[in-house]
Copies of this chain bind each other. A is one copy, B any other.
Amino acid sequence: MKKHNFSAGPSILPQSVLLKASEAIVDYNNTGLSLIEISHRSKEFVDIMENARALALELLGLEGKGYKALFLQGGASTQFLMVAMNLLEKRAGYLNTGAWSAKAIKEAKKLDDIYEVASSADANYNYIPKGYDVPSDYDYFHCTSNNTIFGTQMKSFPKTSVPMVCDMSSDIFSRVIDYSQFDLIYAGAQKNMGPAGTTLVVIKEDILGKVSRDIPSIMDYKLHIKAGSMFNTPPVFPVYTTMLTLEWLKGLGGVAAIAEENEKKSRLMYSEIDLNPLFKGFAAKDDRSMMNATFNLTNDNLKETFETMLKEAGISAVNGHRSVGGYRASMYNALPLDSVKALVEVMSELEAKA
């Protein structure tokens, strides 16, 4: 039976990408060698890295606009530190919209002064704060575009006079926005891009070189840019698989095309949540995420029945994060509309039964 994989990350990837990645492990492009046993300085891998970097900028509409794309290691958790090390001189403003924002704030605070411009912690992060100010003497403003755990998403971003940094780990490449409003974007690969193990960082180069600290080499964006994202041995397989996913996305028609699909999926999902009396959405309606729908049963006695039905329908990984409870349907780029239909069908059947 086909599995419907709603995992929040690492998460579903296109089947064609998985097949190609699997082949490359045995024999890369008829070289007689596995992709993972050749030098990262070989023409084969340098081409992969350069292609992945170029595709990232192209798909975000950031070619020729002063940006560089890097594929680093260490996840968003490492970026919490790198962003502050490279950009924080005196004070920065952070928007606190969830567990990941809070972690970013915690790490930056170890280096210098951080000001929370606004927070939705008071309501277990079920909404996105609005109407805050970002003072013009801050070093930068940091926000999280999509909150995987809570199922909220920023629909618009503030106009700031300081560089805007955004953690887009869970919604990059999923929707049409003006990506050039950001000066630094980072995203772990394991949601919309590829396997865990690499992190895309897109930086407008002119924001760098303005802090006085002696940045450790491995943390220094400038050194990574200078080395063409090969300051040290890159995570070969995660970068290759990410390149394949970006090629797949380009083949579909890019971000605009996938955004239409994502809208269909989330409309279907949220209309079931709203119309079916057995379910209740967690996030404020205006701030609902297109990527992660969070919802609860209105009657907990139905839990066992519902979960058995999910299992029988081949629906996997819809359990909610422990800090929200209930259910979470992650609908990343590679999840087919059919999987959402299958989930919605089970929800309707439960209503018919109850």
* A77 contacts across to B, CB distance below 8 A: 217-218, 231-232
Does A190 sit at the interface, judged by CB under 8 A? yes
Q: How far is the CA of A231 from the CA of B219 in the complex (A)?
A: 19
Q: How far is the CA of A33 from the CA of B334 in the complex (A)?
A: 14
* A238 contacts across to B, CB distance below 8 A: 197, 235, 237-238
* A80 contacts across to B, CB distance below 8 A: 217-218
Q: How many residues of A contact B (CB 8 A)?
A: 62
The answer on a CB contact under 8 Å between A25 and B21 is yes
Q: A18-B25, A22-B25, A196-B235 are in contact. List 8 more A-B contacts (CB 8 A).
A: A10-B37, A21-B36, A25-B25, A40-B196, A73-B73, A77-B217, A77-B231, A196-B237
Closest 3 CB pairs of A and B: A197-B235, A36-B195, A22-B25
Which A residues have a C-beta under 8 Å from some C-beta of B? 1-3, 5, 7-13, 18-19, 21-23, 25-26, 32-34, 36-40, 73-78, 80-81, 103, 106-107, 110, 188, 190, 194-198, 214, 216-219, 231-238, 241, 314, 316-317
A79 → chain B, closest Cβ, in Å? Answer: 9
Main secondary structure of the interface of A (DSSP, over half): loop
Q: How far is the CA of A107 from the CA of B215 in the complex (A)?
A: 9
The answer on a CB contact under 8 Å between A317 and B39 is yes
* A21 contacts across to B, CB distance below 8 A: 25, 36
Interface centre among A19, A188, A217, by most chain B C-beta atoms within 10 angstroms, is A217
* A217 contacts across to B, CB distance below 8 A: 77, 80-81, 103, 106-107
The answer on a CB contact under 8 Å between B3 and A233 is no
The answer on a CB contact under 8 Å between A34 and B8 is no
Q: How far is the CA of A18 from the CA of B28 in the complex (A)?
A: 12
* A216 contacts across to B, CB distance below 8 A: 81, 107, 110
* A32 contacts across to B, CB distance below 8 A: 1-3, 314
